[in-house]
Homo-oligomer: A and B are copies of this chain.
Amino acid sequence: MDIKTPVIILNVKAYRESSGAKDLELAKICKAVMDETGVSIVYCPQQVDLAWVAREVAIPCLAQHADPYSPGSRTGSSVLESIKDAGAVGTLVNHSEHRMLVSDISEIIQKAQTLDLFTVVCTNNTPVSKAVAELMPSSIAIEPPDLIGSGIPVSKADPDIVSNSVNAVKNINEDIVVLCGAGISTGEDVKAAIELGAEGVLLASGVVKARDPKRVLEDLATGI
């Protein structure tokens, strides 16, 4: 499973502003902006909304998290097979709000490959980006935890972490798509990220908590 790059990935987390009907509405807005602008957008619904949103809206969806288990007696867990059956094209892995064991990240990536699912593994610094690159995910999203939700874009606050991660990851495997995230909220931020070598951005509150999410998405799309 490939994702068209450059890409904007919207992770709606577990915000009040992205729950239930609002989750579906945000997905539809993303779809509309994607159609309008031609920019590739991927949507990560709330975990309990995944099958619903993925079935209702024709936009590529990722799960926000996958558990490293085989299908079976795993009450309350989200296994990759069920994520695929829900209609998602892949999953976020190791988000800073859902960190994982290194052995589990390795297992998720391998199983996702056999299921043709796309993996976006989040990392917090360059050494961790290199470590994860050795596990051969589809994509790595470098997100300095301090900047998440800060409104200060990583592409301005810490441009070196972006360009260093891009170089380090591509050096290990040039097929890995490198994204960046944290504090991204404008088209200018996206443009700066792309200029640093990123092939897209991962963002959340900048859109979800915006008064007019559609306008923000349209602005973000201008950066690509």
A residues contacting B by CB (< 8 A) are 11, 13-16, 19-21, 23, 44, 46-53, 55, 63-65, 67, 69, 71-79, 81-88, 92, 94-106, 110, 123-125, 127-128, 130-136, 148-149, 204-205
Contacts and interface: CB of A to CB of B under 8 A. Distances in A.
| 6 A-B pairs closest in CB distance | A65-B76, A20-B85, A130-B134, A51-B52, A14-B74, A52-B52
A81 B19 contact: yes
A20 B81 CA distance: 9
Given A82-B19, A128-B135, A92 B71 contact: no
Total copies of the chain? 4
Nearest to A82: B19
Contact of A73 (B13, B47, B72, B135): B13
Contacts of A148: 73
A124 B99 contact: no
Contacts of A16: 71-72, 81
**A95, A96, A106 — which one has the most chain B CB atoms within 10 A of its CB?**
A106
B82 A106 contact: no
Contacts of A11: 75
A24 to B, nearest CB: 9
Nearest to A20: B85
B47 A77 contact: yes
A155 to B, nearest CB: 20
A82 B72 CA distance: 25
